[in-house]
Amino acid sequence: MTDPSSGDPTPDGGVPEEFDEVDPDAVSDDAGGPGTTGGSPGVAVATALVLGVLGPVIAIASGGIIFAISALTGGLSLAASVVLTLIFGQYVAFGGLAIAYLAWRGFDREGIVSYLGVRVPSLKEIGIVLGSWVVILILVLVISTIVQLLGTETAANQSAELAMGNPAIIPLFIAASFLVIGPCEEILYRGVVQGRLRESLPAAPSIVLSAAIFAVIHVMALTGGLSARLTTIGILFVPSLVFGAVYEYTENLVVPALLHGLHNAVIFTILYVTVTQVGPDAMPAVIGFLPV
């Protein structure tokens, strides 16, 4: 009989016995290729942290570009300023960073789509979006009630404050929730940050860590004292967990992107109705819990 260690076929045309016992799925999972880094969990966590923080840093730095454009044009309207902020602060800072990172790792266009898991959602996945949003709504309302009963102060969201003072731009924020904010933030924090963690860690810690990173970076978008910001970050951690769990379950980035967009859009809609029909004094506490 041929020596199995040589890898040559057996006389009967088959393959060596030990190769019959190899799990093809395991081979596929461990196979090399663009982006298959795996490796040390510490490296994965460090990479996730760097990417998670770098996105907002780029977004803040892009403010200089918008300021320069405003100076060159003699001033921008509020709507134009918001649109440019969305372009540079979301498409470039979050979406661009995510794509650039994956391209740096050697992925081509098809590889990026496959790595992120981008596909048209099925009816079941649409149902998951709606069901998950109900779960988020219930959790946020419960937590909001507890926070109010405890008399704990929460921070205000800068986007919500801007919208409150300028309700005419709220429809723009509603549309941007689905077209810009949801997709861009999810491609970075679920697709790349959670995806990179998932290469080296089990599902649960990957979801928790990516949700924590996502919640903490919102400190830059909050106003108020330190304790108020920490309280709001803790609250934002809840929908972030749901986004991550949905992504892990469906392996389709479009699902958490839609869920994120729906969550933001509903809150902006509540904000619009409150400001235009009731009055800012009746502003619900949930407005501060925007994950944007």
The residue ranges of every structural domain in the chain are: 40-289
Per-residue pLDDT band for 151 (boundaries 50, 70, 90) equals confident
Least-confidence region, from 3-12, 107-116, 279-288: 3-12
pTM of this prediction? 0.83
Average pLDDT, the chain: 85
Least-confidence region, from 131-145, 212-226, 271-285: 271-285
How far apart CA 94 and CA 54 sit, in angstroms, is: 9
How far apart CA 141 and CA 282 sit, in angstroms, is: 16
End-to-end alpha carbon distance in the chain? 66
pLDDT digits (tens, 9 = 90+) for 183-239: 999 999 999 999 999 999 999 999 999 999 999 998 888 878 888 888 889 889 999
CA dihedral in degrees (232, 158, 242, 123; nearest 10)? 160
CB 43 within 8 A of CB 196: no
Measuring CA to CA, how many Å separate 165 from each of 141, 271, 273, 275, 284? 24, 11, 13, 9, 15
Per-residue pLDDT band for 243 (boundaries 50, 70, 90) equals very high
Per-residue pLDDT band for 163 (boundaries 50, 70, 90) equals confident
pLDDT at position 8 over 50 = no
Token pair of 152, please?
């704990």
State residue 6's pLDDT score: 46
Token pair of 236, please?
């934002």
Q: Give the CA count within 13 Å in the CB-facing half-sphere of 269.
A: 10
